Amino acid sequence: MSLPPAPQILDANPKFEELYKRLWERLDPVSGVVDDGKDARIDEELEDATKEWAREALLLQYLKSLSMENGLPTELRQYLDLIIGFSELRQTISPDLNLPEPELSAVVSARPSISKLLSKRINHDYALLVRTLFPDPSTSPRKPDLRDIFSSFIARSSHLEFETTALQLEAIALAERCLDLTSWISTTLIRNTDDIRHGSADRAVKAYQQYLAAVGEGMEKKLRVVHYGTLQDLVSPVVVRALENFLEHTARLNRDLERRKEDAEIAFKGYQAAGPKLEGAVAEYAELLREEEAIKADIRRLDPDALQDL
């Protein structure tokens, strides 16, 4: 995976063109992490935008260039598309969002709380995805960067299909939560617009809502791709063989249980048939004991010392 050429990252937001150039110069080609410590003036240059947003914008372009590379594993490409969708969704509520009308101050004031919630949800999903990729705490890095995730994707792509399917289902669940969150954000913005009572503001927010809908539509398309890949995995020869083996094993267990049931029924019938015979034998033995005691009593009467040696 090579780093994208510098011109590819300049169209993300013209306002940050110079910043992107500087960030590109300070991007570590090995780790993919920007070293903020090399330029103390970055805070002044960013002004109202945050370093986190600018870095995400740069990495988003980087991810897009990676997802378009030839020869990329299909599984890795699907997960890249999902991560790109997460990044795009997160940027829609960025503090740098350029709203065309100053009358949108009410919507602007509502953005921080929305952004906080969105950031919390995305970070939670990201952490869940990391735990899925690194189930062993001893192998999980403290702050896994994109390279760690890519490496894990590539390593896991060689595993059995049912494990891959589990990862894909996890990604689908994350994507569905993002889609739900997109709908919630759109509804919230429209509700805020009702309080503004201004035509231009209303048009601006509706346009913004359409943009969010477009993002959601893109996420749905990516979701369909992942669903298709999951279905392909579910009907793969490996999974089919595993299911056949499981059914065959279950059939063997059932046959063994049937044999045990038959043996138990035969033994129970034998016990039932032997019951009367056993009762008769016990009665005869008891009668013999009574006769023996009667004989001993007669002997004692005739000769008290005769039974001393018995």
pLDDT of the residue at 42: 43
User: What residues contact residue 150 under an 8 Å CB cut-off, 6+ apart?
Assistant: 1, 76
Of residues 59 and 301, which shows the higher confidence score?
301
pLDDT of the residue at 140: 52
Report yes or no: 221 and 180 within 8 Å, Cβ to Cβ.
no
Q: Which of 50, 77, 53 is nearest to 63 (CA)?
A: 77
Identify the H or E element spanning 54: helix 51-67
Model-level pTM? 0.21
pLDDT at 265 over 60: yes
User: What residues contact residue 121 under an 8 Å CB cut-off, 6+ apart?
Assistant: 177, 181
pLDDT of the residue at 302: 76
Residues 20 and 6: their CA atoms lie apart, in Å, by 9
pLDDT at 39 over 60: no
Q: How many CB atoms lie within 10 A of CB 116?
A: 11
pLDDT of the residue at 301: 77
pLDDT of the residue at 294: 80
Render the burial of 136-158: b for 16+ CB within 10 Å, e for the rest: eeeeeeeebebebbbebbeebee
Confidence of residue 287 (pLDDT cuts 50, 70, 90): confident
Mean pLDDT of 90-103: 41
Residues 81 and 218: their CA atoms lie apart, in Å, by 10
pLDDT of the residue at 150: 47
Q: Which of 64, 34, 40, 37 is nearest to 52 (CA)?
A: 34
Tell me which DSSP letter residue 212 carries: H
The percent of residues in the chain predicted with pLDDT above 90, rounded, is 0
Residues 47 and 45: their CA atoms lie apart, in Å, by 6
- Read off the pLDDT of residues 212-235 as tens digits, 9 standing for 90 and up: 555 556 555 555 554 444 444 444
The torsion of the CA quartet 264, 270, 271, 273, rounded to 10 degrees, works out to 150
pLDDT at 178 over 60: no
Confidence of residue 52 (pLDDT cuts 50, 70, 90): very low
Mean pLDDT score of the chain: 54
Which of 176-185, 187-196, 260-269, 287-296 is least confident? 187-196
